[in-house]
């Protein structure tokens, strides 16, 4: 017996059969429309990048634990991209002289991370990235928050189904140093602790705080400020708040787009100020769906020119989970709208002519590849989701006619060839 290779995809990756691809095409098509209505232009880049750009800017977890790397025959160390932001920063920096800032770009890349597969996490995913480059204005934050709401709305989500929780890492740094007494050296570790705050129990959080060097009193104070919500802003220095774009948003007419949350940090090392995450509010799926933030110096990996940016990445796994949870997942499209069936092999060319007319009118149309009995072809058309069939019989064809049958109503009519498009549309 031959030893067959496995048919399952590699661990952490997925096959998408036509029905699943239909759902994905509909979902992401809506999101593309929203982005382009707002003036975002689509770009793409290579799936392989120098490993160094992730090791220097994406953070320790990605660089040390999740990066797929390889060494070329020429000795170059490359990585499968785990995210798109460093790549787009490279592209922006490399083309800065020809760009008119600010620019709005979006992409839908395939990304890879060596993670433990579980609900909401796989090793290969697709995500929509949307970024604005070249402006420090708080209007960029407002536009990004509006964009998030528009994209969620385009998928059928109502405001009660999700929440945009936002913070400013500079505000949090001030709270940690001025109120909790965290040292500058301890800040990165405390940021990591805060990022895991809602995912860990209190004992584990306390033990980690002790390992960092925080006293019990500092840990209690940290717990207090993280649970204080927007009240924390009253305790921070005015100068710190004056320099915060997030505070400007909270003081604007766009304040209702977000909720201030001191616990939002984001694990990626390149975020410099505004950070946010979008959460599902359903008890069945209460988790972060996607997020992003502002990065003021990511382009400095590639150029001395200061090119600030802000953006987010919306991953396909958690997004589809959200739609499933709320009953918003679209149904797969049928295979075809109409099937043209010749009664005999001699009428194959005639059926192709009819099918051509229907396709020109925008109707998804197929014809049998291997002709079977009419009853079996009708059953096949029904299973393919067709709502109508056109039957081409010899006597009708000789008279310049065809038969149009609605599969739902089972009603049929004989019509002239020139009227076939109108007759099919009427039966759909």
Q: Is the pLDDT of residue 228 over 80?
A: yes
Question: Residue 57's pLDDT is what?
Answer: 65
Strand duo 41-42 + 110-112: pairing? unpaired
Q: Does domain 338-427 have CATH number 3.40.80.10?
A: no
Secondary structure (DSSP) of 123-190: SEEEEEEEEEES---HHHHHHHHHHHHHHHHHTT--GGGEEEEEEEHHHHHHIIIIII---TTTHHHH
Q: Above pLDDT 90, what percent of the chain?
A: 86
Question: Residue 269's pLDDT is what?
Answer: 74
Q: Is the pLDDT of residue 61 over 70?
A: no
Give the angle subtended at the CA of 383 by the CAs of 426 and 336, to the nearest 5°: 50
CATH topology of domain 18-168+261-325: BirA Bifunctional Protein; domain 2 (3.30.930)
pTM to 2 decimal places? 0.91
Annotated binding site: 83-85, 113, 127, 131, 266, 270-271
Question: Residue 298's pLDDT is what?
Answer: 79
Annotated binding site for L-histidine: 83-85, 113, 127, 131, 266, 270-271
Rounded mean pLDDT of 167-193?
94
pLDDT (tens digit per residue) in 246-296: 999 999 999 999 999 999 998 777 889 999 999 999 999 989 999 999 998
Q: Where in the chain is the domain with CATH 3.40.50.800?
A: 338-427
pLDDT (tens digit per residue) in 344-400: 999 999 999 999 999 999 999 999 999 899 999 999 999 999 999 999 999 999 999
Question: Residue 60's pLDDT is what?
Answer: 64
Question: Residue 53's pLDDT is what?
Answer: 87
Question: What is the average pLDDT value for the chain, to the nearest integer?
Answer: 94
The residue count of the chain comes to 428
Least confident of 34-38, 54-58, 164-168, 401-405: 54-58
Yes or no: say if 276 and 254 are a contact pair by the CB < 8 Å rule.
no
Strand duo 41-42 + 103-107: pairing? parallel
3-state secondary structure 332-397: CCCCCCEEEEECCHHHHHHHHHHHHHHHHCCCCEECCCCCCCHHHHHHHHHHCCCCEEEEECHHHH
d(CA 283, CA 119): 15
pLDDT (tens digit per residue) in 43-56: 999 999 999 988 88
Q: Where in the chain is the domain with CATH 3.30.930.10?
A: 18-168+261-325
């Amino acid at each position: 017996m031959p030893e067959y290779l496995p048919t399952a995809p590699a661990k952490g990756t997925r096959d998408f059969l036509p029905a699943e691809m239909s759902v994905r095409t509909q979902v992401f098509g809506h999101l593309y429309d929203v982005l382009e209505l707002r003036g975002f232009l689509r770009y793409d880049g290579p799936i392989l990048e120098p490993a160094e750009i992730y090791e220097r800017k994406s953070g320790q977890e990605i660089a040390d634990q999740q990066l797929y790397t390889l060494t070329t025959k020429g000795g170059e160390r490359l990585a499968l991209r785990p995210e798109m932001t460093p790549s787009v920063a490279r592209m922006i920096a490399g083309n800065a002289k020809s760009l008119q800032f600010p620019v709005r770009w979006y992409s839908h890349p395939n990304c890879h991370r060596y993670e433990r597969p579980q609900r909401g996490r796989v090793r290969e995913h697709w995500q929509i990235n949307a970024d604005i480059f070249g402006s420090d204005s708080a209007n960029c934050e407002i536009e990004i928050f509006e964009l998030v709401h528009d994209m969620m709305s385009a998928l059928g989500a109502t405001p009660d189904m999700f929440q945009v929780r936002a913070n400013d890492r500079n505000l949090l740094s001030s709270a940690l140093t001025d109120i909790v007494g965290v040292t500058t050296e301890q800040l990165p570790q405390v940021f990591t602790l805060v990022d895991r705050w809602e995912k860990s129990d209190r004992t584990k959080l306390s033990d980690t705080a002790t390992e960092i060097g925080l006293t019990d009193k500092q840990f209690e104070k940290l717990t207090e400020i993280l649970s204080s919500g927007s009240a924390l802003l009253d305790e921070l220095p005015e100068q710190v708040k004056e320099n915060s774009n997030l505070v400007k948003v909270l003081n604007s007419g766009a304040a209702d787009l977000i909720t201030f949350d001191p616990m939002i940090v984001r694990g990626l090392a390149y975020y410099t100020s505004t950070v946010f995450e979008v959460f599902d509010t359903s008890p069945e799926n209460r988790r972060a769906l996607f997020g992003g933030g502002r990065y003021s110096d990511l382009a400095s990996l590639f150029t001395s020119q200061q090119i600030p940016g802000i953006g987010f990445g919306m991953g396909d796994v958690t997004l589809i989970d959200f739609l499933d949870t709320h009953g918003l997942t679209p149904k797969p499209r049928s295979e075809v709208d109409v099937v043209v069936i010749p009664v005999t092999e001699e009428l194959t060319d005639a059926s192709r002519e009819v099918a051509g007319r229907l396709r020109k009118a925008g109707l998804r149309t197929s014809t049998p590849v291997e002709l079977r009995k009419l009853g079996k072809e009708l059953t096949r058309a029904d299973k393919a989701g067709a709502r109508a069939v056109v039957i081409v019989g010899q006597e009708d064809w000789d008279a310049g006619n065809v038969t149009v049958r609605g599969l739902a109503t089972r009603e049929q009519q004989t019509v002239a060839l020139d009227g076939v498009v109108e007759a099919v549309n009427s039966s759909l």
